[in-house]
Amino acid sequence: MTQTLAYLQNLLAIPSPTGFTTEVMDYVQETLESLDYEVQRTPKGMAVVRVNGQDNEQHRIVTAHVDTLGAIVRGIKPDGRLKLDRIGGFPWNMIEGENCTVHVASTGEQITGTIMIHQTSCHVYKDAGSAERNQDNMEVRLDAKVTNEDETRKLGIDVGDFISFDPRTTVTETGFVKSRFLDDKVSAAVLLNLLRQYKEEGTQLPQTTHFIFSCIEETGLGANSSLHENAVEYLAIDMGAIGDDQQTDEYTVSICTKDASGPYNYEFRQHLVGLAKAHEIPYQLDIYPYYGSDASAAMSAGAEVKHALLGAGIESSHSYERTHLDSIVATEQLVDAYLKSDLVK
């Protein structure tokens, strides 16, 4: 997993809330071009690599997304702190106390800060612990000497500036990877490493396959407008959700049977299960009740494909996430087995 982990750490280090993804997409493109792949950048900013297979009549799509949760400046308060609006779906309490960076559009500078509830001090505010965390009372405390709105505006900060959260990436000696945004940079790292292996080993896949690195998934848009007309299968590689009543864990690959959009294609799902069994890849089947993927967005847009979803098991999704190298290995093995397999019957 050395190279996959290196790709993952590089991706995690690049701020990329949805709508502010040029730098991370440039990294993806430059990495792929260094491997001698031709990369197409779509008008929406996605990176697409076509790998010709033995069969050029029926194509496959595989996606992973590199955009993340984040925030945007909604306003500047009289005391110089910032009001927020969320990018992506997460409760406010999941970012309380998080260090962040304001990306100032007018100057190109970066100003750090911390996301806090307004009534933070328990020595001053009686409801510091009980107050609802919401858009009205969450704010950014800037690491700058500002005491009023005018001083903050003199820094160049304005409504619409993007705010990224510190990933705090840690790899433990026991094999756990802790970080924000493992959803879905784990999957992107897996695809980058598989593409590296295929190029170095001269692997020819059975089907022409389009690898799409999406950058608008967290807002529900997905990679649904760049599908080749010959595509018949669509595999989204994203996180597996862990929690009560879930089978998904941090040590296997999770195969999704249904999410909030409805069931995934049964034959495709069983094809993946068969591959996992044949290759002795540890897996779990699961339902993600409050979830959507690039593949489900494509189906909503009318794509005429079989669709499936799998991914590494991610603990504490959309918060400070964690997975284990075992899960990343299992995910990479199953994606590899699928890409080398025949079409779903």
Cβ neighbour number for residue 282 with a 10 Å cutoff: 15
Is 67 annotated as belonging to a binding site?
no
200, part of any domain: yes
238 labeled part of a ligand binding site: yes
Whether residue 198 is found in the same domain as residue 322? yes
Q: In this structure, is residue 171 part of a structural domain?
A: no
Tell me: do 63 and 100 sit in the same domain: no
> What is the per-residue pLDDT for 111?
98
Q: Which of 217, 233, 315, 321 is catalytic?
A: 217
Residues 118 and 90 occupy one common structural domain: yes
Residue 226 pLDDT: 75
Active site residue 57: no
Give every residue of the chain whose pLDDT is below 70, as ranges: none
Q: Helix, strand, coil shares of the chain as percentages rounded to 5?
A: 25, 30, 45
Work out the number of other CB atoms within 10 angstroms of the CB of residue 28. Answer: 26
**Per-residue pLDDT tens digits for 194-244:** 999 999 999 999 999 999 999 999 998 878 877 999 999 999 999 999 999
Q: Are residues 85 and 60 in the same domain?
A: no
Query: Is residue 173 one of the residues assigned to a domain?
Result: no
123 annotated as belonging to a binding site for a ligand? no
Residues spanned by the domain of 197: 3-68+181-340
75 and 142 part of one domain: yes
DSSP SS3 for 192: helix
| Residues 40, 155 share a domain | no
The CATH number linked to 312 is 3.40.630.10
Task: Give dist(CA 28, CA 34) in Å, integer.
Answer: 10
Distance CA 313, CA 333 (A): 14
**52 touches 94 (CB < 8 A):** no
Q: Where are the beta strands (DSSP E) in the chain?
A: 39-41, 47-51, 55-65, 70-76, 82-87, 99-103, 110-117, 138-142, 162-165, 170-171, 176-179, 207-214, 231-237, 240-241, 253-259, 262-263, 283-287, 306-314, 321-324
Q: CB–CB of 333/255 below 8 Å? A: no
The answer on 74 and 61 residing in a single domain is no
Spatial separation of the C-alpha atoms in residues 193 and 7, rounded to whole Å: 8
Domain endpoint, select from 138, 165, 192: 165
> Is 183 annotated as a binding-site member?
yes
232, part of any domain: yes
Q: What angle do CA 326, 332, 333 make, to 5 degrees?
A: 90
Are 223 and 79 members of one domain? no
Q: Are 258 and 315 found together in one domain? A: yes
Residues 219 and 332 in one domain: yes
Burial of 104 (0-12, 13-18, 19+ CB in 10 A): middle
What CATH number is attached to the domain comprising 112?
Answer: 2.40.30.40
Query: Is 218 marked as binding a ligand?
Result: yes
Last residue of a domain, one of 165, 199, 218: 165
User: Quick one: what percent of the chain has pLDDT higher than 70?
Assistant: 100
* Whether residues 239 and 325 fall in one domain: yes
In a domain, 172, yes or no: no
Q: What does the pLDDT read at residue 13? A: 98
pLDDT at 265: 98
What's the pLDDT score for residue 1? 81
77 & 61 share domain: no
Q: How many domains does the chain have?
A: 2
Decide: helix, strand or coil at residue 164. Answer: strand
Residue 170 inside a domain? The answer is no
Looking at 110, 137, 165, which one is the last position of a domain? 165
Identify whether 174 is part of a domain.
no
